[in-house]
Amino acid sequence: MVQQAILNGIRVLSLEQVHVLPWGTAFLADFGAEVIRVESPDHMNDRRSGPFPDNAPGDEWWNEGGTFAYWARNKQSLCLDVTHPLGKEAFLKLVARSDIVTDNFRPGTTRRLGLDHDSLVAVKPDIITLSCTAYGHTGPWRAYGARARTVDAACGLSYLTGYTGGPALRASSNYMDHTGGLNIAYALLLALYQRRKTGQGMRIDLSMYETGVSCIGPAILEAQRGIARPRLGTAHLWQAPHNVYPCQGTDRWITIAVATDDEWQCLCTAMGTPAWAVDRRFDTVLGRWQHRQELDAHLCQWTATHNDQELMHVLQAHGVPAGAVLTAPDLVANPHLRERAYLEVFTNDNAPRVGPRVYAGRPFRKSPEPPIPLRLVSALGQHNLQILQEVAALSALDIQQLIDAGVLATQPPETDKPALGASSYQARGEGTQGDPHYQEAIRSLSPQLQEG
């Protein structure tokens, strides 16, 4: 794994499923912590969810999914039934040699299993535990479950989101899983920092709902003074032109955000100072804002004759804040991201048919740069024996007992293979189109990144 990285020597046991918690612990794995995913063959939503190469799950589909590779990279896999007494006993032996235990069960589950914070402290007094739930372990909503989209709704973000003058719309695709995962990573690093100082662990009760609320602070303050924040879509409270404008081609767009008189003059110059723009009403911030609809209508006609990415460069060269509305293929081909080696390409040693694939990278670089991590994509239960022998110090006999009791697994109990094209991305309606030439785009990226 990672050599001499910041979290070398830190061991994390993660009872994690689906998205938010795996995203959080992935940061620790990237920083060199030994993150052990404790998995159950009966709950494999993240391994089932694909995407699979060309939407066709293979014979060992549970080791092939792209989302699993992305969110579980650099983590080890221990497929151990902690609900079985023998499995629980082995798990507690691991806890005694671990620094952090995380879960995203519903509140009450770990207590029922005898794996709650207090039970773990009994075997590891300075253990750090983090439980990520929808609403937290206390309060009247504690038993309720969530998905990212129900948290978008509950926390107020969806209410604030929508086209100008229109109804509230779902805020984003699974933003709450991501912002929640980031908060998890931050909380765990805080806990490690605190333990260094005091030698003491802690119990972190992290709620997706409250993390969502922390994303809309200004609106929370405004609501207490009766100020209603309007839904604005791509418009702005006081800037104009500030919107998304159509460009050449199908579903191609550019954003322009002009805040100052200077930027407006730059935009006029970039457009070749058309007659409509030489209008005293547009000379001032106030005039542009008051006549923003007219302004947008003129701009749409101009942008529609241009290529979005070329126009972005022209406008930026003139000092106008502008950005093309980029899609996944645009980003994979993007020269800026390529020069910064942002995207990652890695293969999956446990699923050779997957081959090299492109993944989003980390948005921060450090100087001096730490060693480039290898990308481990664990097969289900790949590290069962190694972890139980080396970490839990179980004998061959003990391990055989676990195998005989059916507590360990390396594949799902029955072959309930996901149907062709059944990965969650395929059924999201009309919003998903395909690029038949995508493999060329990936090939063009692979050698470049592998050299880097």
What are the structure tokens assigned to 15, written together?
A: 């009872």
Examine residue 177 and tell whether it contacts another protein (CB under 8 A): yes
The 10 Å Cβ neighbour count of residue 305 is: 9
Smallest gap from residue 82 Cβ to another protein (A) = 21
- Residues 406, 409, 411: CA angle, nearest 5 degrees: 130
Q: 76: part of which helix (H) or strand (E)?
A: strand 75-79
Which of 25, 38, 52, 380: binder of another protein (CB under 8 A)?
A: 52
CB of 47 to another protein, least distance (A): 14
Among the listed residues 101, 206, 240, 299, the single contact to another protein using CB under 8 A: 206
Binding another protein (rule: CB under 8 A), the pick from 1, 6, 121, 268 is 6
Task: Determine, following the binding rule CB under 8 A, whether residue 322 of this chain makes contact with another protein.
Answer: yes
Residue 366 engages another protein in binding (rule: CB under 8 A): yes
Contacting another protein (CB under 8 A), which of 58, 114, 136, 287?
136
Parallel, antiparallel or unpaired: strands 75-79 and 242-246: unpaired
- Cβ count within 10 A of residue 11: 19
Distance of alpha carbon 155 from the chain centroid: 18
| SS3 category, 13 | strand
Near another protein in 249-278, by CB under 8 A? 251, 253-255, 257, 259
239 to 231, 253, 273, 289, 295: CA distances (angstroms): 15, 19, 20, 6, 12
Is 276 or 425 the residue whose CB approaches another protein more closely?
425
Considering beta carbons, is residue 80 or 171 the nearer one to another protein?
Answer: 171
Closest CA to 159 of 219, 224, 214: 219
Q: Is it true that the peptide bond before 85 is cis, omega within 30 degrees of 0?
A: no
Q: Does 127 bind another protein (CB under 8 A)?
A: no
Using DSSP's 3-state secondary structure scheme, residue 438 falls into helix
The answer to whether the beta carbons of residues 25 and 16 sit under 8 Å apart is yes
Of 93, 97, 111, 236, which one interacts with another protein (CB under 8 A)?
236
Indicate the pairing of strand 100-103 with strand 202-207. unpaired
Q: Which stretch binds another protein (CB under 8 A): 34-42, 78-86, 281-289, 350-358?
A: 350-358
Among 96, 168, 285, 314, binds another protein (CB under 8 A): 168
Provide, rounded to whole angstroms, the least separation between the CB of residue 275 and another protein: 27
17 forms part of the interface with another protein (CB under 8 A): no
| Residue 451, C-beta contacts closer than 8 angstroms, at least 6 positions apart | none
Q: What is the closest distance, in whole angstroms, from the C-beta atom of residue 398 to another protein in the complex?
A: 34
For the CB of residue 34, give the shortest distance to another protein in the complex, in Å: 16
108, 125, 190, 403: which one binds another protein (CB under 8 A): 190
Q: How far is the CB of 68 from another protein (least distance, A)?
A: 10
Picking from 281, 227, 289, 230, the residue whose alpha carbon sits closest to that of residue 258 is 289
- Closest distance to another protein from the beta carbon of 188 (Å): 9
Q: Is 240 in the site for another protein (CB under 8 A)?
A: no
Measured CA to CA, the distance from residue 274 to residue 285 in angstroms comes to 19
Q: Rule CB under 8 A: which of 372-391 touch another protein?
A: none
Contact region with another protein (CB under 8 A), list: 108-116, 318-326, 377-385, 396-404: 318-326
